[in-house]
Amino acid sequence: MVGNIRALWRQFPVKQVAILGVLLSIGSIGGSTIHPFLPFLTHDFFPYLKSNQIGYYAGFLTSAGSTGVFLGCFMWGKLSDIVGRRPILLSSATAILVGTMLVGFSFSFLWTVGVMFFEGLLNGKLGVAKTYLYEICPPKFHSFAFSVVGLPSSVAQFVGPSLGGFLACPATRFQTFDKPVFKQFPYLLPCAVAACAQFCILIGGCFLLGESLEKSPKDEYIDLTEVSSRDAPEDKDKRPRQEESTCSLLRDRLVLIPCALYALLALVTICNNQMLPLLLVSDSQHGGYNFDAAEISIVSTTHAIYSAVTHVTITPYIASKFTYKTVFLSGVVLYAVGIILLPSMVNITGAVRSQQLLQTANSSDLTLNFTAAPGQFSTSPLGTESYIQPTTEMNATVTGQCRLAGDRRKTSQHKASDLPARVWGPLLLVLTVMEQGSTQSYLAVIVMVGNAGVQSNRGTVNGIAQTLAALSRLVGPAVSANLFAWTTDNGLPWPLDHHLSFYLVAVLCILVAVLCASLPASSNLPRADSLTVSEEGDRREEPMLEGTLYPLMDK
């Protein structure tokens, strides 16, 4: 048995899979670095906004990147068939690096929107990376390869928030960085550090990443048909049927439902990812804790650590014990439960109070100035006249300092230890449950999308799913952020207040579960004509690896 394992290991392209995984982590480094300070960056451009109005504009930043991906994903896939996979992967990594650095130099809202749009447009790594991995790995290793290739990205997702949360606004936190450049560009330092890490990875990829296009079985097939004139008429007859088969995918229920599930799941998760930081930086009256960038980074880092662990432990085990439909349905239910609980967490844990906080007389008129102090809007007895000291300095709008107006603490950097365990415990528990549900659902739906296609059109099926998901990620951030901003500003009672936007996402989860239930049991297995002889042998030899297909690719 040990000899068989060693023989299989020698066939596995360890070097290329590892290099590809590290190269893909460039995107995770950039995105997770920007995520913690995105609400504060948005308010820098609109300093007159209240804390509960940031969502009107914050969603457009995330949607800009998704718009670019939606417009460019098919173009890069087509181009990779011509020039190869390696140039597209390296050029996409370069675009992400440049985009990360340019975000640090943001001086206007339109500039940041434009940077994110072009970064998405020039980024074709996701679809090309899946193709690359399929081509460099024998079929028997596809499930294992898709499991391990995302480990570097998971590591990057809990390193990035630390950079974005703790290095943002360095001029107000560290005397060493009290320089004009960091006052003018308060988010330059975390972006620059992330870009340096991305640059090192890119240089390594340029020297070590190989090409996979020449290894494609399609090249061998073309060579054989050129030699055999007898087969030429058959190929001509097959081409119209292949085109007809591709068009019929749009009418195939077994293809469209998994693709729709993938797109709707992407919509659910992107809406929550957009609303969560907006909720956390809000005051207690709107379901938040007045978190600052550092505290949001702690949430993101904890979230990412659990994600990395569950991707290679709990989730594959669950997938090996149950059908993919069951795994997907249970994951969606877990996610929906978390979505429902999130806007009510402040009622469960209680609002956070700060002894160092000086409040203005009317907390509803406070505007964001980026030091989200917990308990800023507390209505406890601490808010007496001795604590209400409105001054010109307090009411002045100060941007680029990662704090909220009206928060006059001794330091603009808030310590996470100031938050009691009664807040961190329940909050992180709910987010962990949601991450488990998200991981299960993504694993199951991506496998079902792969099962929906036959060998000749599997790439096309994945392309349909990826395009629909990109459309969801285009629309989701702007709609969810604006909806959250409206619900926190409409003055209506429960459930039409800040709870409404989260409840609507929970309803969408229920609709997704109902749609999944309509899938036949055959969606748990590849279509009968999609298995090659080698793939059938691999399934007999490696039954336990089937449940680990795809879990760590970018969602």
Residue 118 burial (CB count, 10 A): 18
Residue 199's pLDDT is what? Answer: 94
Name every residue whose Cβ is closer than 8 Å to that of residue 477 and which is 6 or more positions away in sequence. Answer: 58, 59, 60, 61, 62, 63, 66, 270, 271, 274
Residue 42's pLDDT is what? Answer: 82
Average pLDDT of the segment spanning 360-367: 38
Please state the domain extents for the chain.
Answer: 12-211+253-350+419-548
Contact criterion met (CB below 8 Å) for 62 and 98: no
Question: Residue 96, CB half-sphere, CA atoms under 13 Å: how many?
Answer: 30
Average pLDDT of the segment spanning 472-490: 82
Name every residue whose Cβ is closer than 8 Å to that of residue 123 and which is 6 or more positions away in sequence. Answer: 27, 68, 69, 72, 92, 95, 96
User: Which of 105-114, 324-333, 456-465, 495-504 has the weakest average pLDDT?
Assistant: 456-465
Average pLDDT of the segment spanning 22-35: 86
Residue 368's pLDDT is what? Answer: 40
**pLDDT category of residue 416 using cuts at 50, 70 and 90:** very low
Q: 425 burial class (0-12, 13-18, 19+ CB within 10 angstroms)?
A: exposed
**pLDDT category of residue 4 using cuts at 50, 70 and 90:** low
- 12-211+253-350+419-548: CATH superfamily: MFS general substrate transporter like domains (1.20.1250.20)
Residue 269's pLDDT is what? Answer: 92
Higher pLDDT, 178 or 549: 178
**Which of 27-31, 40-44, 115-119, 243-247 is modeled with the greatest confidence?**
115-119
Question: Which percentage of the chain shows pLDDT scores above 90?
Answer: 13
**pLDDT category of residue 55 using cuts at 50, 70 and 90:** low
User: Which of 207-211, 313-317, 343-347 has the weakest average pLDDT?
Assistant: 313-317
Q: 227 burial class (0-12, 13-18, 19+ CB within 10 angstroms)?
A: exposed
Return the amino acid letter for 224.
L
Residue 3's pLDDT is what? Answer: 52
pLDDT at 37 exceeding the cut of 50: yes
Higher pLDDT, 287 or 215: 287
Residue 391's pLDDT is what? Answer: 34
pLDDT at 49 exceeding the cut of 60: yes
Residue 473's pLDDT is what? Answer: 83
Residues 66-88 have pLDDT tens digits of 788 888 877 777 787 778 888 98
pLDDT at 407 exceeding the cut of 80: no
Higher pLDDT, 172 or 115: 115
pLDDT at 438 exceeding the cut of 80: yes
Name every residue whose Cβ is closer than 8 Å to that of residue 254 and which is 6 or more positions away in sequence. Answer: 452, 519, 520, 522, 523, 527
Residue 387's pLDDT is what? Answer: 31
Residues 93-144 have pLDDT tens digits of 999 999 999 998 988 889 999 999 999 889 888 777 777 776 787 766 665 6
Average pLDDT of the segment spanning 401-417: 45
Average pLDDT of the segment spanning 407-434: 66
pLDDT at 239 exceeding the cut of 80: no
Contact criterion met (CB below 8 Å) for 133 and 146: yes
Contact criterion met (CB below 8 Å) for 289 and 296: no
**pLDDT category of residue 503 using cuts at 50, 70 and 90:** very high
Name every residue whose Cβ is closer than 8 Å to that of residue 226 and which is 6 or more positions away in sequence. Answer: none
pLDDT at 410 exceeding the cut of 60: no
Q: Mean pLDDT across the chain, nearest whole number? A: 72
Question: Which percentage of the chain shows pLDDT scores above 70?
Answer: 69
What are the distances in angstroms from CA 63 to CA 113, 116, 467, 474? 9, 9, 14, 5
**Which of 229-238, 495-504, 531-540 is modeled with the greatest confidence?**
495-504
- Rounded Cα gap, residues 20 and 39, in angstroms: 32
Average pLDDT of the segment spanning 417-441: 82
